[in-house]
């Protein structure tokens, strides 16, 4: 029995991360330049290999930290990509995760070694293997989750205004929302705490800053809130 087991063909397991960020204007994707000559100007998602004594959740978090210096961020398994010839070099199964971060929190620890760069999701370069399909699926998942859950807060700084929050959701969905309806719905969730501070430098009057009520956020994170109803859209 052991001999039969050992005789089985083995394959590699990769972890690929679709890292979304928001810079205040656009939804972006963090990519690295593929360091293999034959791939030319091809870019790649950030990824690495599963180690013998890791589960996939730990491996994904480790790889993300090694490549970006970021930890304790939103990370969710997306899909298993297992087409036999997806990697022409060697049989490889990839488990894809997507991560959400605020671009301002991103450190440049990888920029020199891995030539990492943010790209608008509307202007992506040529991607390696099936990474383009991974990104498409991750955008679909993000939009679905953002519709039903308050997941978008993961892409914002600790303090933000309602207009900034609206701009984020418009970037995620690629459309405009009715300002009054958006503000009323968001505030009705009771997820935000209004601060005695205003955003500076944008207007004389300024907009009040808010932060997420973390206790309420944890309570309702997995609940279906109908967070972005169709009535938002202009």
Tens digits of per-residue pLDDT, 38-67?
Answer: 556 889 999 999 999 999 999 999 998 888
Q: Are 199 and 206 in contact (CB under 8 A)?
A: yes
Confidence of residue 127 (pLDDT cuts 50, 70, 90): very high
pLDDT digits (tens, 9 = 90+) for 82-98: 999 999 989 999 999 99
Structure tokens at 197: 């501070």
Output the pLDDT for position 37. Answer: 47
SS3 of residue 149 by DSSP: coil
Average pLDDT of the chain? Answer: 86
Whole-Å CA distances, 30 to 8, 57, 130, 132, 165: 37, 20, 16, 13, 21
Helices 162-173 + 179-188 axis angle, to 10: 110
Which is higher by pLDDT, 180 or 137? 137
Output the pLDDT for position 104. Answer: 79
Which is higher by pLDDT, 198 or 49? 49
Give me the numbers of helices (H) and strands (E) for the chain, helices first please. Answer: 7, 9
pLDDT for residue 111 is more than 70: no
Query: Would you give the end-to-end CA distance of the chain in angstroms?
Result: 64
pLDDT for residue 32 is more than 80: yes
pLDDT digits (tens, 9 = 90+) for 136-172: 999 999 999 998 888 999 999 999 999 999 999 999 9
Output the pLDDT for position 36. Answer: 53
Confidence of residue 189 (pLDDT cuts 50, 70, 90): confident
> Which residue has 């701009």 as its token pair?
167
Phi, psi of 191 (to 5 degrees): -90, -10
Output the pLDDT for position 147. Answer: 87
pLDDT for residue 23 is more than 50: yes
């Amino acid at each position: 029995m052991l001999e039969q087991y050992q005789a089985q063909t083995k394959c590699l397991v990769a972890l690929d991360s679709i890292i979304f960020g928001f810079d205040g204007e656009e939804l972006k994707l963090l990519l690295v330049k593929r360091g293999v000559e034959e791939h030319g100007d091809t870019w790649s998602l950030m990824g690495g290999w599963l180690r013998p004594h890791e589960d996939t959740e730990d491996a994904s978090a480790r790889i993300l930290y090694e490549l970006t210096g970021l930890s304790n961020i939103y990370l969710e398994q997306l899909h298993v990509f297992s087409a036999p010839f997806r990697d022409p070099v060697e049989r490889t199964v990839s488990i894809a995760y997507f991560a959400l971060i605020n671009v301002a929190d991103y450190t440049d620890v990888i920029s020199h070694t891995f030539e990492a760069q943010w790209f608008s999701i509307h202007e992506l370069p040529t991607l390696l293997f099936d990474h383009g399909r991974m990104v498409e699926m991750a955008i679909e998942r993000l939009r679905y989750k953002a519709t039903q859950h308050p997941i978008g807060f993961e892409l914002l700084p600790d303090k933000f205004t309602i207009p900034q929050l609206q701009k984020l959701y418009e970037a995620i969905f690629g459309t405009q929302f009715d300002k009054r309806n958006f503000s009323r719905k968001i505030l009705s969730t009771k997820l935000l705490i209004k601060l005695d501070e205003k955003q500076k430098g944008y207007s004389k009057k300024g907009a009040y800053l808010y932060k997420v009520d973390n206790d309420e956020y944890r309570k309702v994170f997995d609940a279906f809130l109908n967070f972005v109803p169709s009535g938002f859209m202009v």
